[in-house]
Amino acid sequence: MVKTILRKYGIRGGYHDQHFLINKTILDRISEAAHLTTKDTVIEIGAGIGNLTERLLPQAKKVIAIEFDPRLVYVLEDRFKKVENIEIIHGDILDIDLPDFDKVVANLPYSISSEITFKLLKQKFKLGILMYQYEFAKRMVSSCNSKDYSRLSVNTNYFADASIIMKVEASAFSPPPKVRSAVVKLIPRPSPFKVDDTDFFLNFVTAVFSQRRKKLKNAIVNANYILGINNIKQIVGQLPEEFMGKRAENLEPRELADIANRIHMIVRNEAT
């Protein structure tokens, strides 16, 4: 069926980071993992030729299919022209103001996975079932003191609970990608730790992980071009040495948040 659709429209993958998911078992498992109901509005990012869309439509109140490639938009419009509960948006997901939605299901373009993920995490939704490159997925769910622990790990932990629910072999796609894949389940929830200023915290995490092999006291100073604090060396001198002697990769998200809060408070007090 899937290969027939590819031939019918003369579509081949590999263009704009396209690798079409064709394994029916994996498609079914992704759809089932979303636990859609007739009350759910679901966004599908990178809908492609509609293999996953076809499975989402009977279960959801509405599917908003977002696709960048005009060739594939044509395929979607033609394939689902008799379907009422679909809206097809032709555009770049990074430039679109997302409408309200309950769930997001997608085989994401791997080259912009990070940008899409951070955009999604700032939205309000119930559940995400998202396909990533396996190495990216591992960084999302990693804990401190592991080699995969990163800015992505901390930021994901701030916004949501994340878990890998299945690995996907390259043979499940057409054409097969050169990397392994994994599906991640994202459940947004309030932060488990206190953050005084979200933007400052996210910038702080970016700064210290850009210098991940350096002790925190040096990482903060060296990456101050991100934070833009005038008297950063003096402020670092006021922070607990128990933290300053460690690297960012050795600190829990709540500990990084505590340091960011302390810096933010000092800066705010000095400004008043």
pLDDT in tens, 170-218: 999 988 889 999 999 999 999 999 999 999 999 999 999 999 889 999 9
Report residue 9's pLDDT band, with 50, 70 and 90 as the boundaries: confident
Give 211's contacts (C-beta < 8 A, 6+ positions apart): 218, 219, 222, 223, 248
pLDDT(54) > 70: yes
Mean of the pLDDT values across residues 66-93? 95
How far apart (Å, rounded) are the C-alpha atoms in residues 269 and 272?
5
Give 267's contacts (C-beta < 8 A, 6+ positions apart): 229, 235
Q: Which two tokens stand for residue 26?
A: 């994996």
- Asked whether the beta carbons of 72 and 11 are under 8 A apart, the reply is yes
The per-residue pLDDT of the chain, averaged, comes to 93
**Structural domain spans, the chain:** 2-188, 198-271
Report residue 271's pLDDT band, with 50, 70 and 90 as the boundaries: confident
Mean of the pLDDT values across residues 212-238? 94
Three-state SS letters, 169-213: CHHHEECCCCCCEEEEEEEECCCCCCCCCHHHHHHHHHHHHCCCC
Q: Is the dihedral of CA 210, 199, 95, 53 positive or negative?
A: positive
Helices 151-159 + 253-271 axis angle, to 10: 80
Amino acid letter, residue 187: I
pLDDT(13) > 90: no
pLDDT(1) > 70: no
Report residue 5's pLDDT band, with 50, 70 and 90 as the boundaries: confident
Query: Which of 7-11, 77-81, 161-165, 189-193 is predicted with the least confidence, judged by mean pLDDT?
Result: 7-11
How far apart (Å, rounded) are the C-alpha atoms in residues 134 and 173?
14
Peptide bond into 99 cis (omega under 30): no
Nearest to 79 by CA among 120, 37, 49, 35: 49
Mean of the pLDDT values across residues 56-68? 97
pTM to 2 decimals?
0.91
pLDDT(258) > 90: yes
Mean of the pLDDT values across residues 96-104? 96
- C-alpha 180 chain-centroid distance: 17
Report residue 18's pLDDT band, with 50, 70 and 90 as the boundaries: confident
Tell me the pLDDT tens digit for each residue of 31-43.
Answer: 999 999 999 999 9
DSSP secondary structure, 125-149, as one string: -SEEEEEEEHHHHHHHH--TTSTT-
Please tell me the predicted confidence (pLDDT) of residue 185.
Answer: 98
Give 72's contacts (C-beta < 8 A, 6+ positions apart): 11, 18, 47, 48, 49
How far apart (Å, rounded) are the C-alpha atoms in residues 22 and 201?
40
Q: Which residue has the higher pLDDT, 18 or 133?
A: 133
Please tell me the predicted confidence (pLDDT) of residue 59.
Answer: 97
Mean of the pLDDT values across residues 227-235? 93
Please tell me the predicted confidence (pLDDT) of residue 3.
Answer: 66
Please tell me the predicted confidence (pLDDT) of residue 175.
Answer: 84
Mean of the pLDDT values across residues 159-165? 97
Please tell me the predicted confidence (pLDDT) of residue 249.
Answer: 95
- Write the class of the CATH domain 198-271: mainly alpha
Fold classified for 2-188: Rossmann fold (3.40.50)
Please tell me the predicted confidence (pLDDT) of residue 41.
Answer: 98
Instruction: Name the 3-class secondary structure at 64.
Output: strand
Same fold for the pair 2-188 and 198-271: no
How far apart (Å, rounded) are the C-alpha atoms in residues 239 and 263?
8
